[in-house]
Every structure is written in C-alpha cells, then in structure tokens.
Amino acid sequence: MPSAGLYFQNDLYYYNGDIGAERKLPTGGRLALGVDGSAVIDLPTFIWVLPEEMLGGHLGLAATFPIGWKSTSADLTLAGPRGGPARADVSDEVFTIGDPVLSAFLGWNQGNLHWQVGTMINVPVGDYQKGEISNIAFHHWGADVFTAMTWLDPASGLDLSGVLGVTFNDENPATDYRTGNELHFEWAAVKHFSPAFDAGMIGYYYDQLTDDSGDGASGPFRGQVTAVGATMGWNFKMGDRPVSARVKYYHEFDVRNRAEGDVLFVSLTMPLSILK
C-alpha cells in the first residue's frame, strides 16, 4: 500500500493477436472466424488512499477511465443464435471510450510481507456498438474480487508478488450474451538492483470457470491462456515529484477459445498529494 494521499497512474496497453482460421470467436452478437486484432488503450487511473486506519490496515479507492483504439478483421462472420446474414472479409476500426472501472482495496503490512483484498466493478456506460467486431466497452456489469500478496526484502532487493482473483460477469443486454465467470492469477519475481532500477520475470494465467450463457450464446465456450514475460522499472524525479516508470511485456501460449498474441504495458505512476 502506498502512503495516504492522492496518486495518478497511467497504463498504456498494446495488444496484437489472432485466433486462427479454424476457431470461432463470439463478438458483437455474431460468430467470427479467422480473427486478427490490435488494440492501443490508455488507462488513466486516480487512486486515493485514506489516512484513517481500518481493520488494522488502510483503505484505497480508485477509478479508471479507458480510452483507445481497436482494429479487428475476420475472414468470415456468421449469424449468431439471434440471426443475421453471413459476411466475408469483415473489418472494423474504432477509437472511443470504454467502461469506467471503480475499485476498492484494503491493505496491510508486517515486516517484509504486504497483502491486500479488494474488488473492481465494471460500470457499463462506455461506447458500445452492437453487431460490430471492435468494441472497447464490455456493455455489461462485472465484479472482480481479488487478493494480492508481496514479499519484499530490502536487504537483498528481492520482490515476489502474486494476485489471485475471480471475475463475475452479468449479461450484455444488447446481445443477450453472458460470459462465464473467470479465474485469473498474475505473478512477478523482480530484483531491485538499486533504488532507481529493477528488472525481473512476470506472467499470468487465465481460466474461464463456467460456460458462456444467455439467449445470444451458441453453446458452451470457455477460454484459457497462459503468458510469461519480462519487466523493467525506473524511479526518478520530475522536479521535486517522484515518478515510477515500468515496462511489461507478455507472450501468450497454451490458448483455448481466445486470441493468442503479445501484450505490452508502459506505466507511469506519481503522487499528486501525499498526506503526512
């Protein structure tokens, strides 16, 4: 947990991947085959850590407001259960706003051990276009509950972290489609070589726990993916203001019913106001 105060974090997210010509992907109320896609999405986040103690820890609140670009192409799109003509060589490109995400988390620390529990809520008010294969907004309510833990040894500079969470999805009212509940696990093993620089390995695992459902679903559809990569971080000052910068790269593999590709994050975090 950071010290009590107001913080700003900006994550620039890049993804490029494909799902293969032989596999179908439900999107926008249709089924798409031979999908290729790229996305560049900016995720500005404001974080407020309260100074008051709660249950022996400290409460943090956050709000994220996605905006970005996404381009998707498909060799063929087929009508979903609700009908519509088949279309070949479909492409769609969009630059728009996504659904905001509200977060709350409670954190504690004892010696080298730091841990949190929290939740994130997807609020479906972003720009969503039914029938299009490129959308940034999910257009449905969703809640993620998670727990996170870090073991940081200042003497050796070793930093081991993990996050385990489950996402619960509501139905998209535009498509009558409900994505199943999802398990995710993220990890990092980082070495701090100096107060200014660190580097290490990172990864994530995603597994859909329940089938997709709803009148718009064409049948059971569960996704799974594993990714590993590397990260580097720098700490510096912008005037008198401390700034943390981080680059993260992931390569995906062992994929089922999802796109397989590469992920890049570039992040900047800085305090706007720290309470003493």
Task: Give me the sign of the Cα torsion angle 54, 57, 143, 137.
Answer: positive
pTM to 2 decimals?
0.88
In a domain, 38, yes or no: yes
Q: What is the pLDDT of residue 90?
A: 73
In a domain, 276, yes or no: no
In a domain, 40, yes or no: yes
Q: What is the pLDDT of residue 220?
A: 76
197: domain CATH number is 2.40.160.40
**197-208 and 5-27 strand pairing:** unpaired
In a domain, 164, yes or no: yes
In a domain, 262, yes or no: yes
Let me know the angle formed at the C-alpha of 257 by 256 and 263, rounded to the nearest 5 degrees: 75
- Residue numbers of the domain that contains 22: 5-270
What domain count does the chain have? 1
Q: What is the pLDDT along the chain (276 residues), one digit of tens a residue?
A: 888 999 999 999 999 998 866 666 666 555 666 688 899 999 999 999 999 999 999 999 999 999 999 998 876 555 555 445 555 567 789 999 999 999 999 999 999 999 999 999 999 999 999 878 789 999 999 999 999 999 999 999 999 999 999 999 999 999 888 999 999 999 999 999 999 999 999 999 999 999 988 887 766 788 999 999 999 999 999 988 999 999 999 999 999 988 899 999 999 999 998 876
In a domain, 275, yes or no: no
87 CB burial (10 A radius; 0-12, 13-18, 19+): middle
- In 145-238, which ranges are continuous DSSP H helix? none
In a domain, 204, yes or no: yes
